Structure 1
Amino acid sequence: MSAEREKNQPYEAYLFVHFTGEHENGEQVYFSVSRDGLHWNDLNGGQPVLQSGIGEKGVRDPFMIRSPLDNKFYIIATDLRIASGKGWDTAQHRGSRSIIVWESPDMVNWSKERSVEIGLPEAGCVWAPETIFDEEAGEHLIFWASMTTEGDREAKQIIYSSRTKDFMAFTKPEKYIERGNHVIDTTIIREGSTYYRYSKDETTKCITVESSDSLSASSFRELPSPVLDGLFGVEGPEVFKFNDRNEWCLMVDQYAAGKGYLPLITEDLSSGQFRILNPEEYDLGATKKRHGSFLNLTGAEYEALVKVWGTPGL
């Protein structure tokens, strides 16, 4: 099994990579799996699958991708451990400018974690790194939030971007999203020829959505979404397509209420319309799921993960 799945091997399951909170070992990498994308089972007995012992000695916001360039899986994550007691002010203004990276040929055998500094020298932090493969450019676009200042402007969270082919060498950071308000937690999904970009407005505490026919920073335009406009106290948006139908699931972390992730469903990403699922329609498993990412799995990939970290009957 490698990141390059067999052409005739369909996706049949899902992996949720996440952290669980600010308790001991909560800010590490956890795996959960699902057959239908809505009912989840924790792997490794609800304990971390990967742990960072470098940098801040904890990670948040883990994001996994399968790279078409080298047929490997990568996890990139925020180098941050709030449980250490430093507090949010320090985390934003005097935090790590690095990300933590793992790589694997099969999602089972992982490299030792490594730290890569990608933030600007004046950045106060590098939060929630994510990436999408730019098919036209043949490289990965990586983006994250950094607290920065310019001239007399007060410090503000801005989304920066860089490019890489191997998650070791990165281009110089550039501004990707700057607004009047603070913005963090950006994620991008491609459907057909359109990119949909979801971010957290850190001032209003809502999720915004934009669309574009390219990944160019200036090409995105706001997409109205009344449901998201009325959903407060959420962050960490993540989107994935269901394997068996033309529906998408947008997951948002209900951090303000301490409830973990909430699924919203749409049949058309371009509509901006979502239906919030009722509690009886989903089950996120025993552990609280905090900001993470989702990966569609083949049946063989699912079975390999369950064989190593699962329990009988999954």
Structure 2
Amino acid sequence: MNLSRRSFGLAAAGAALGALAPVARATAATPSAAAAANTAYAMVYFTESPNGQGADYGLHLAVSRDGLNWTPLNQNRPVVTPTAGEQGLRDPFVLRKQDGTFVVLATDLKGTDFTRWSQYLHVYDSTDLSAFTGYRRLRMHTSSSHTWAPTAFWDAPRGQYGIVYSAVDGGRDVLMANWTTDFRSVGPPQVYFSPSFGVLDGDVVVDGGTTYLYYKNLADGLLYGARSSTGAPNSFTTYTSGLRQGNAIEAPLLARNNDGGWRLWGDSFSPVNNDYYAWSQANIGSNSWAPMNQRDYTPALNSKHGSVIGITDAEYTAAVSRWGAPAWVRLKSYNFPDRFVRHADRAGRLDAYPFDPYQDQMWRMVPGLASSSGVSFESVNYPGNYLRHYDYAVRLDPDDGTATFRADATFQRTAGLADSSWTSFRSHNFPTRYLRHSAYQLRIDPIDSASSASDRQDATFRVTP
């Protein structure tokens, strides 16, 4: 939620959000038939980019078969945008309810003015992620406090859902909870997690008889996991070491793998850094989160502070059929997986993501201009301009209609020279040469079985939305 960036004081918001009330033990619910059949994943998110060119505070949707590499739907445009309150959202969270349908909760805020505090959450319903209906705002409290970064879980003994969110109580950053049966009305707010330091961005899951709560510690800027055998407010004990990748981290997101195991995602502190980092471990209850290589995952373009859920094959198909897959691709470097192929001042480059104009990394991969067996890369933001080599350097030029240009702009797609599950691109008219980066500049160079491992890695890319 980027609260750490704000410089305004919290003392003025000292009014308590509500008296404590007894809370029943939270235990795991029996998974619905739909949840048990999950074979894919969905992510909801909003978008930002370093200079704001990619900022959009509507609800975005992406899907994935492996939960690691994501395909943004609707051309990475919002599938729905709030029309009330601040008329924008941040931090969307998606939950599969007990009836197998979905509910989406989100912060009522458009943009980055974190002094604009709302008492409400945005709420949508969805049957299969092909439509989002029943839009409403849900008032969580009546105090002078924000209502940020919601998460929700099912408490079987209580027969209600808990909605947990970041708020201010007594001048301190805490996690609050309200209880509901229908996401249309809620009970009074209760302090849910308030240790001796400020906390932000909670995510709650129930696994077996244990309730897990992951959060950001505002005192040291790290992510932690806590657990409770009862799930009662302020009954949690932190059991993990502090986690961080990159310069700063927030928005812990727990995702259960469809085939077992867990992943933990963390959002970068600001849109000028990498958007997501990930860890994995087999058992959520252990303190053995291992950082994942960025080579292994690719979040949706410009995605920020989202939520992941397992979905069925039918739900995956319904979402893709309704919203459509992207008409463009990006090329991710194998040995510098935080970098993507782009054009800048007409030069073909490999630059660290994210950047603006973010469209510089987006390509229409079309049948080769010189041979339909190959491919050519047309710029999305400069239509009619293609990546081509000239004196072996790669640059962006307009199609001049000549046979030379068409040949220079055509590449044969092959199995990745460093990893056959990735891709390499061989020059059409210089077939011993491959598209590669060197000192982050793109060019075509001779590469064969005798070439170094580094050269082969330089010429290997992931084609991804």
Kindly state the Cα deviation for residue 218 of structure 1 after the two structures are TM-superposed. 3.1
Q: For 1:225, what is the secondary structure of its paired residue? A: coil
| 2:152 matched residue in structure 1 | 131
Report the CA distance shift for 1:307/1:180 in structure 2 as closer, same or farther (over 3 A).
same
The letter of the residue matching 1:100 is: H
Under a length normalisation based on structure 1, what TM-score does the superposition of the two structures give? 0.87
CA distance in 2, matches of 1:73, 1:307: 18
Kindly state the Cα deviation for residue 38 of structure 1 after the two structures are TM-superposed. 0.7
| 2:124 matched residue in structure 1 | 102
For the 8 Å contact 1:123–1:148, the answer to whether it is kept is no
Kindly state the Cα deviation for residue 58 of structure 1 after the two structures are TM-superposed. 0.5
The letter of the residue matching 1:169 is: S
The letter of the residue matching 1:275 is: A
Q: Which of 262, 275, 287 lines up with 1:248 in the alignment?
A: 262
CA distance in 2, matches of 1:280, 1:129: 30
| 2:364 matched residue in structure 1 | none
Kindly state the Cα deviation for residue 9 of structure 1 after the two structures are TM-superposed. 6.3
| 2:40 matched residue in structure 1 | 13
Kindly state the Cα deviation for residue 46 of structure 1 after the two structures are TM-superposed. 0.7
Kindly state the Cα deviation for residue 105 of structure 1 after the two structures are TM-superposed. 2.4
Report the CA distance shift for 1:294/1:147 in structure 2 as closer, same or farther (over 3 A).
same
Matched, 1:202 2:187: no
Matched, 1:118 2:149: no
Matched, 1:159 2:175: yes
Kindly state the Cα deviation for residue 71 of structure 1 after the two structures are TM-superposed. 4.2
| 2:231 matched residue in structure 1 | 215
Report the CA distance shift for 1:230/1:5 in structure 2 as closer, same or farther (over 3 A).
closer
Q: Which of 194, 212, 215 lines up with 1:178 in the alignment?
A: 194
**1:1-314 matched pairs, under 5 angstroms:** 6=33, 10-21=37-48, 23=52, 26-68=56-98, 70-82=99-111, 87-88=113-114, 90-91=115-116, 95-119=117-141, 121-149=142-170, 155-225=171-241, 228=243, 233-244=248-259, 246-256=260-270, 258-285=273-300, 287-311=301-325
Moved more, 170-179 or 186-195: 186-195
Runs of 4+ displaced beyond 6 Å: none
For the 8 Å contact 1:144–1:161, the answer to whether it is kept is yes
Under a length normalisation based on structure 2, what TM-score does the superposition of the two structures give? 0.60
For the 8 Å contact 1:208–1:229, the answer to whether it is kept is no
For residues 197-252 of structure 1, give each alpha carbon's deviation from its aligned partner in whole angstroms, at most 9, with x where no partner exists.
101112322111111222111321110325x16876111111111112x3211000
For residues 279-312 of structure 1, give each alpha carbon's deviation from its aligned partner in whole angstroms, at most 9, with x where no partner exists.
2111123x12211111101111111111111238
Structure 1 residue runs of 5 or longer lacking an equivalent are 150-154
Q: For 1:304, what is the secondary structure of its paired residue? A: helix
CA distance in 1, matches of 2:47, 2:291: 22
CA distance in 1, matches of 2:34, 2:58: 33
CA distance in 2, matches of 1:78, 1:7: 27
For the 8 Å contact 1:19–1:29, the answer to whether it is kept is yes
The letter of the residue matching 2:176 is: Y
CA distance in 2, matches of 1:230, 1:147: 27
The letter of the residue matching 2:189 is: P
| 1:152 matched residue in structure 2 | none
| Aligned length in residues | 294
Report the CA distance shift for 1:50/1:230 in structure 2 as closer, same or farther (over 3 A).
closer
Structure 2 residue runs of 5 or longer lacking an equivalent are 1-30, 328-464
CA distance in 1, matches of 2:159, 2:173: 29
CA distance in 1, matches of 2:244, 2:274: 19
Report the CA distance shift for 1:75/1:289 in structure 2 as closer, same or farther (over 3 A).
same
Q: Which has the larger radius of gyration?
A: 2
For the 8 Å contact 2:216–2:223, the answer to whether it is kept is yes
Q: For 2:56, what is the secondary structure of its paired residue? A: coil
Q: For 2:265, what is the secondary structure of its paired residue? A: strand
Kindly state the Cα deviation for residue 168 of structure 1 after the two structures are TM-superposed. 1.0
Report the CA distance shift for 1:141/1:8 in structure 2 as closer, same or farther (over 3 A).
closer
CA distance in 2, matches of 1:43, 1:229: 29
Percent identity, aligned pairs only, is 28
For the 8 Å contact 1:206–1:232, the answer to whether it is kept is no
Kindly state the Cα deviation for residue 271 of structure 1 after the two structures are TM-superposed. 1.5
Report the CA distance shift for 1:241/1:71 in structure 2 as closer, same or farther (over 3 A).
closer
CA distance in 1, matches of 2:217, 2:312: 34
Kindly state the Cα deviation for residue 6 of structure 1 after the two structures are TM-superposed. 4.0
Structure with more relative contact order (C-alpha pairs < 8 Å, separation 6 or more): 1
For residues 143-194 of structure 1, give each alpha carbon's deviation from its aligned partner in whole angstroms, at most 9, with x where no partner exists.
1111233xxxxx2211111100011110010111112322111001222222
CA distance in 1, matches of 2:326, 2:81: 25
For the 8 Å contact 2:73–2:326, the answer to whether it is kept is no
